[in-house]
Structure 1
Amino acid sequence: MRVVLAGNYNEKRAGTNFYATVRKLTNGFVRNGHLVMPFSDRDVAREQGRFGIGRAGEGEVNRRLLELCENFRPDLLMLFHADKIGNDAVRQARAMLPALRVAVVSLDALFLPANVRRIHRLAEVADTTFLTTAGDHLRQFVTPTHRVAFIPNPADRSIETLECFARDDQPFDFLCTIGTERTTPWRGQIMREIAARVPEARYAFYGLAERPYIYGSAYFEAIASARMGLNLNRAEDHYLYSSDRFAQYAGNGLLVFVSRATGYDEIFSDDEFVFYSDLDELAERLRYFLKNDGERQRVARNGHTRYHALFSEVLVARFIEDAVFDRAPSGDYAWPTEIHGR
Structure 2
Amino acid sequence: MRIVLVGNFNERREGANFYATVRKLANGFTRNGHQVMAFSDRDVARETGKWGIFRGGDAFANERLIKLCRNVRPELLVLFHADKIANETVRELRAMMPSLRVAVVNIDALFLPENVERIHRFAEVADTTFITTAGERLDAFVTPTHSLTFIPNPADPSIENLQCFAHNDQPNDLFCAVGSETASTPRGKLLKEIETSVPEARCAFHGFEGRPQLNGLDYFNGIASARMGLNLNRDERYHLYSSDRFAQYAGNGLLVFVARSTGYDEIFTDEEFAFYRDMPELADKLRYFLTHDGERQRIARNGHERYHALFGERLVARYVEDVMFGRPFEDAYAWPTAIHR
User: What is the TM-score of this pair, normalised by structure 1?
Assistant: 0.98
Distance 1:53 1:310, change over 3 A: closer
Amino acid at match of 1:144: P
Is 1:58 equivalent to 2:58 in the alignment?
yes
- For residues 338 and 329 of structure 2, the distance between their equivalents in structure 1, rounded to whole angstroms, comes to 11
Letter in 2 for 1:227: R
Q: Distance between the aligned counterparts of 2:266 and 2:192, measured in 1?
A: 29
Residue by residue over 1:145-174, the C-alpha shift from the partner in whole angstroms, topping out at 9 and shown as x without a partner, is: 111000000000000000000000000001
Aligned to 2:290: 290
Q: Is the 8 A contact 2:150 2:337 kept in 1?
A: yes
Distance change in 2, residues 1:182/1:118 (3 Å):
farther
Task: Output aligned runs, 1:235-274, within 5 Å.
Answer: 235-274=235-274
Q: 2:53 and 2:9 mapped to 1: Cα distance? A: 21
Greater CA drift, 264-273 or 188-197? 188-197
Letter in 1 for 2:159: I
Shift of 1:99: 0.6
Whole-Å Cα distance in 1 between the matches of residues 61 and 309 of structure 2?
A: 37
Q: Which amino acid aligns with 1:203?
A: C
SS at match of 2:261: helix
Q: 2:95 — aligned with what? A: 95
Structure 2 equivalent of residue 25 of structure 1: 25
| Offset of residue 187 of structure 1 | 1.1
Match of 2:5 in 1: 5
Deviation digits for residues 181-200 of structure 1 (CA, Å, limit 9, x no counterpart): 15981111111111111111
2:177 corresponds to 1:174: no
CA contact under 8 A between 2:79 and 2:104: conserved in structure 1? Answer: yes
Equivalent residue for 1:335?
A: 335
**SS of the counterpart of 1:4?**
strand
* Residue identity matched to 1:303: G
Take 2:247 and 2:51, find their aligned partners in 1: how far apart are those partners?
38
| 2:111 is the alignment partner of 1:106 | no
Q: 1:183–1:281: structure 2 CA closer, same or farther, 3 Å change rule?
A: closer
Distance 1:285 1:52, change over 3 A: closer
Partner of 1:156: 156
Per the alignment, residue 187 of structure 1 pairs with 187
State the AA in 1 paired with 2:282. L
Deviations 1:55-106 (A, max 9, x none): 1111111000000000000000000011000000000000000110000001
Q: Which is worse superposed, 180-189 or 68-77?
A: 180-189
Aligned residues: 341
Q: Which residue identity is paired with 2:245?
A: R
Counterpart secondary structure, 1:130: strand
d(CA) in 2 for partners of 1:251, 1:184: 31
CA drift at 1:31? 0.3
**Residues 1:176 and 1:329: Cα distance change in structure 2 (over 3 Å):** same
| Secondary structure of the corresponding residue to residue 19 of structure 1 | coil
Cα contact 1:24–1:155 (8 A) shared by 2: yes
Unmatched 5+ stretches in structure 2: none
Cα distance in structure 1, aligned partners of 2:72 and 2:159: 28
Distance 2:44 2:289 in 1: 48
- The residue identity in structure 1 corresponding to 2:244 is D
SS of corresponding position for 1:178: strand
SS at match of 1:39: strand
Contact 1:180 1:212 in 2 (8 A): no
Provide the rounded CA distance (Å) in 2 between the counterparts of 1:313 and 1:291. 34
Tell me: CA distance 1:60–1:173, structure 2 relative to 1, closer, same or farther (3 Å).
same
Q: 1:269 to 1:53 in 2, by over 3 A?
A: closer
Q: Give the superposition deviation at 1:301.
A: 0.1
Q: CA RMSD in A?
A: 1.3
After TM superposition, what 4+ stretches of structure 1 lie above 6 angstroms from structure 2? Answer: none
Corresponding residue for residue 201 of structure 1 = 201
**Equivalent residue number for residue 34 of structure 2:** 34
Q: Following the alignment from structure 1 to structure 2, what is the Cα–Cα distance between the partners of residues 183 and 118?
A: 30
Q: Distance in 2 between matches of 1:115 and 1:180?
A: 19
CA distance in 1, matches of 2:257, 2:217: 23
In the TM superposition, residue 50 of structure 1 has moved relative to its aligned partner by 2.3
What is the SS of the residue equivalent to 1:36? strand
Which TM-score applies when normalising by structure 2?
0.98
Residues 243 and 183 (structure 1), Cα distance of their counterparts in 2 relative to 1, 3 Å cut: farther
Q: What corresponds to 1:223 in structure 2?
A: 223
Tell me the distance in 2 between the aligned counterparts of 1:302 and 1:138.
31
Q: Is the 8 A contact 1:184 1:234 kept in 2?
A: no
Residue 162 of structure 1 aligns with an amino acid whose one-letter code is L
Q: Report the CA distance shift for 1:138/1:53 in structure 2 as closer, same or farther (over 3 A).
A: closer
Write the letter of the residue equivalent to 2:180.
T
| Residue identity (%) | 67
